[in-house]
Amino acid sequence: MSAITGSGVQLSDEQRGLLDLAEDLGARFGRRAARYDLEAGFPYENYDDMREAGLLKLCVPKAYGGLGADLFTYALVSATLGKYCGATSLTFNMHACSCLWPGLMADALEMTAGQREEHERHRASHFQHIVEGGAVYAHPFSEGSAAAAGRAPFGTTASKVDGGWLLDGKKIFASLSGAADYYGVLCTEHRTGDDAPSMRDSIYLAVPRNAPGFTIVGDWDPLGMRGTVSRTLLLKEVFVPDSGQMMPRGIYFQAANRWPHMFSALSPTYMGIALAAYEFTVQYLRGEVAGMDPPVKRRMHPTKQIATAQMHILLEQTRAIFLRSFSEARIDPPREMRLRAYAAHFTVMENANEITRLAIRTCGGQSMLRSLPLERLYRDSRCGSLMLPWTAELCLDRIGREALYEPGEADD
């Protein structure tokens, strides 16, 4: 039985094997998590372990030597890692998305024969970096504007030049900064003429870490998710060869509109955090947390029992919609599924924070000491609903609008 799914969810042998692997690796990551958090340092050792175990190729299609995981399998693996180390799971999301967008998602998109042929060539080289070279990809799209919310074109531009592209701009909150081998940067294709920049001209390009003109700046000393090392990227006339295209021109826009569940790929990390906080609370109240001297049982107090019940109910509600939404992820989901995807994302992000809050209140004063993981889970959980494009506010905004208006409908 997987801790993430609980019993009653049918998993294939392959999925079960991957979850066992994630549990084994996660146990090691859990022992290192406090140090990375304290130092706000990137979990390099965890990535070495994942590379060695073959997990970096989880979402690379099988035809390219990967494990071919779909979005549901990815979500279960990521949530399992998230139970032990939020920063590792969240950064793994960035890498996994860099495989899923040009991989499984692109397979279902419409492309001309020419675009398809070009894409096969380009993605073969990206997947080779990962499968044979053990490369890690970052996924920086945020710019501090409405672009990452999906409401405006990216301000970072890509101009077509002979044999490739020249990139100019800035990305903020780039997780894996300094640690990634490639940065899958979303840009707007710069066109000469009077046309205003358009989101349809988004282009997705992989910048190698050592590309001239590419620099990483700024501090990283945040509240939570400290091991993600999400610093600022500056791009000044950075040349990326044509083979650096993660998707053909114009295809990212189609993908972003037709695959909404992809924007929820961050949430498994927070599902894992919610589960970890609940499991810790049960252990703590039973007096079974290692290193507590003396171990004290607190479970006999009715108030603790009620709080545990509240956490349990929240956790089960969260898990139910999480599993349902990821299990139905597909291209062009009907409206009902699209709304459920927003609702699931909102629920996971908000409830993870609520469950960790209840956990600290219930376990009591000693549980917020840095020697125990709860205060880190609490701080990490706070980040989820801030993350674009599906922040908690934007999920509400989308649900409200899309529930009340048919596509294209407007008021007089």
Ligand X SMILES: Cc1cc2nc3c(=O)[nH]c(=O)nc-3n(C[C@H](O)[C@H](O)[C@H](O)COP(=O)(O)OP(=O)(O)OC[C@H]3O[C@@H](n4cnc5c(N)ncnc54)[C@H](O)[C@@H]3O)c2cc1C
Binding site for ligand X (CB under 6 A): 94, 139-142, 144, 146, 148-149, 151, 173-175, 225, 228, 230, 383, 386-388, 391, 393-394, 397
Give the nearer residue to ligand X in terms of CB position, either 19 or 185: 185
Give the nearer residue to ligand X in terms of CB position, either 2 or 230: 230
Give the nearer residue to ligand X in terms of CB position, either 292 or 386: 386
Q: Measured from the CB of residue 166, what is the shortest distance to ligand X in angstroms?
A: 21
Q: Are 235 and 206 in contact (CB under 8 A)?
A: no
Q: Measured from the CB of residue 391, what is the shortest distance to ligand X in angstroms?
A: 3
Burial label for 25, CB within 10 Å (0-12, 13-18, 19+), is buried
Give the nearer residue to ligand X in terms of CB position, either 37 or 118: 37
For residue 111, the cross-strand partners are none
Give the nearer residue to ligand X in terms of CB position, either 284 or 346: 346
Q: Are 396 and 347 in contact (CB under 8 A)?
A: no
Q: Measured from the CB of residue 240, what is the shortest distance to ligand X in angstroms?
A: 18
Q: Measured from the CB of residue 377, what is the shortest distance to ligand X in angstroms?
A: 14
How far is it, in rounded angstroms, from Cα 154 to Cα 146?
A: 8
Give the nearer residue to ligand X in terms of CB position, either 94 or 131: 94
Alpha-carbon Rg for the chain, nearest whole angstrom, is 21
Give the nearer residue to ligand X in terms of CB position, either 256 or 289: 256
Alpha helices (H) in 229-301, listed in sequence order: 251-258, 267-285
Give the nearer residue to ligand X in terms of CB position, either 171 or 319: 171
**Six-digit token string for 381:** 């959980």
How far is it, in rounded angstroms, from Cα 256 to Cα 280?
A: 37
Beta strand spans in 133-197 (E): 137-138, 157-161, 164-174, 182-189
- Residue recorded with tokens 């380009």: 122
Contacts of 169 by beta carbon, 8 Å cutoff, 6+ apart: 143, 154, 155, 156, 157, 185, 187, 235
Q: Measured from the CB of residue 138, what is the shortest distance to ligand X in angstroms?
A: 6
Nearest to 387 by CA among 181, 141, 155, 157: 141
Give the nearer residue to ligand X in terms of CB position, either 141 or 270: 141
Q: Measured from the CB of residue 79, what is the shortest distance to ligand X in angstroms?
A: 17
Q: Measured from the CB of residue 100, what is the shortest distance to ligand X in angstroms?
A: 15
Q: Measured from the CB of residue 392, what is the shortest distance to ligand X in angstroms?
A: 7
> Quick one: how far is CA 161 from the chain centroid?
32
Cα–Cα distance list, 11 to 2, 275, 347 (Å): 9, 19, 24
- Residue recorded with tokens 């692997």: 21
Give the nearer residue to ligand X in terms of CB position, either 19 or 352: 352
Q: Measured from the CB of residue 176, what is the shortest distance to ligand X in angstroms?
A: 7
* β 214-217/202-208 pair status: unpaired
How far is it, in rounded angstroms, from Cα 339 to Cα 307?
A: 30
Give the nearer residue to ligand X in terms of CB position, either 83 or 304: 83
How far is it, in rounded angstroms, from Cα 306 to Cα 329?
A: 35
How far is it, in rounded angstroms, from Cα 69 to Cα 21?
A: 14
Q: Measured from the CB of residue 98, what is the shortest distance to ligand X in angstroms?
A: 10
Contacts of 10 by beta carbon, 8 Å cutoff, 6+ apart: none
Q: Measured from the CB of residue 71, what is the shortest distance to ligand X in angstroms?
A: 18
Nearest to 346 by CA among 306, 380, 396, 277: 396
